[in-house]
Every structure is written in C-alpha cells, then in structure tokens.
Copies of this chain bind each other. A is one copy, B any other.
Amino acid sequence: MELREKRDESVRRILEAAMSVFAEEGYSGARVDEIAKRAGLNKAMIYYRIGDKLVLYTEVIHSLFGDIGSAIKGNIPADATPEEKLKIYIRGLALTIADHPYLPGIMMRELASGGGNISELVAEDFASILSIPANILTEGVNKGAFIKTNPVILHMMVVGFMMFFRTTEPVRKRYFERLPEDVRILNEKSISEGVNEVERLVLRAIKA
C-alpha cells in the first residue's frame, strides 16, 4: 500500500475506534489501549499520529459536530412554506442523529460535564443550528401561519425527544415487560414513526 494511504487509513481507523469507545465509556472511562485494539493498531500509533488522549478526544468531538450544522441547513428549499420548512428541519435533525449513532451518547455526556470540551467552533455550529428554527418561526409568524414561539424551546423539545428516545432504548428494552401498554407499542416502532408524531404535535402546537 502507498505510504499516504496507509497513514490516512490509520488515522481514520483511530478516530473511528476512538469515537465508538468515547461514546460508550465517556472520556475518563475510555481506555487508550481499547481504542488501539479496536483500531487494530498499536497504542503508540495514537500518540505518533494524533497526540495524547485529550487531543484525540477533542479531534473526535470536532469531527462529529463540525459538519452537522451545514448538513441540516442545506436541505431546506428557500421557496417552501414555513410548515414544509419546519418539517424538513425536524426530519433533518432525525436523519443526522440516525447517521451518527455516536452523537447522542457523546453529546449528552458533553453537556452533563458542562461542555468543557466544546470548542469555539462547535459553539458556532450550535448557534448556526439554532438559527434554523428561529428563522423558520419568524417567517411563519410574519406570514400569519404560526403563533409566536420561542425557537430554543421548540428545538430543545424536538432534539430532547430524539436523544432520549435513542439513549433510553436499552433501558426500555431491558425492562420491556413492566412498561405501560403505550410505551410497549412505541418500543416496537421505529424512531421515524416517533418523528412523524413529533412533527404532527409541533405543527399543531404552533399553527396560528
């Protein structure tokens, strides 16, 4: 194999392994040896190519949040109605979370620890994501389609649901039998059906 290919391949594998381990165990819980093992490489490679554990973690966080904001924004056509835009935004969030299985775990842990590792850059991504529902709601209010609503609350309700739905899955599965009827039914459904319902509820909530 070519040298550059080898190097890039190694870096890719380290970052991927690191992401999975950090998502499962958190920063302190993650073992550098375990990351190396999953990457199929010697531990020294991590220090040689990336740096120490903290640098590696920062790298992983950055690569995870870096491209999310733009991805969601891109999907919304300018000429759509506010309702359509809001639907696309909700769907975009759901798709992003589906595409990045490690996102909820890492994000929830990051927030739990006060977001100390969230860089300037990532903060900008967050602000950029928040501006999407903010703009849609403003447009909707101006066109008389929506009532005045705080976009952050809406955003947090939607994202909150998605994160909780995903991360409670193991617990819901484990204690299946004792769950109320409604929960059991939802348990069998996919997240996309849940998202449909969220979409419906949100639109009912804010329609003028």
Interface residues in A, total, Cβ within 8 A: 65
Q: Name the prevailing secondary structure of the A interface residues.
A: helix
- A123 / chain B contacts, CB cutoff of 8 Å: 171, 174-175, 178
Other-chain residue from B23, B108, B180 in contact with A108 (beta carbon distance below 8 A): B108
- A106 / chain B contacts, CB cutoff of 8 Å: 112
Complex interface: stretch among A1-9, A40-48, A72-80, A147-155: A147-155
Complex interface: stretch among A10-18, A49-57, A194-202: A194-202
Number of copies of chain A assembled together: 2
Q: Check A95 for interface membership: any CB of B closer than 8 A.
A: no
* A111 close to B164 (CB less than 8 A): yes
- A158 / chain B contacts, CB cutoff of 8 Å: 157
CA distance A154 to B183 in the complex (A): 11
Q: CB within 8 Å of B: which of A159-208?
A: 159-165, 167-168, 170-171, 174-175, 178-183, 185-186, 194, 197-198, 201-202, 204-206
A29-B29, A157-B160 given; A152·B183 CB < 8 A = yes
- A206 / chain B contacts, CB cutoff of 8 Å: 201, 204
Other-chain residue from B28, B111, B126, B156 in contact with A29 (beta carbon distance below 8 A): B28
Q: Check A130 for interface membership: any CB of B closer than 8 A.
A: yes
Q: CB within 8 Å of B: which of A109-156?
A: 109, 111-115, 118, 120, 123-124, 126-127, 130-131, 134, 147, 149-154, 156
* B134 close to A180 (CB less than 8 A): yes
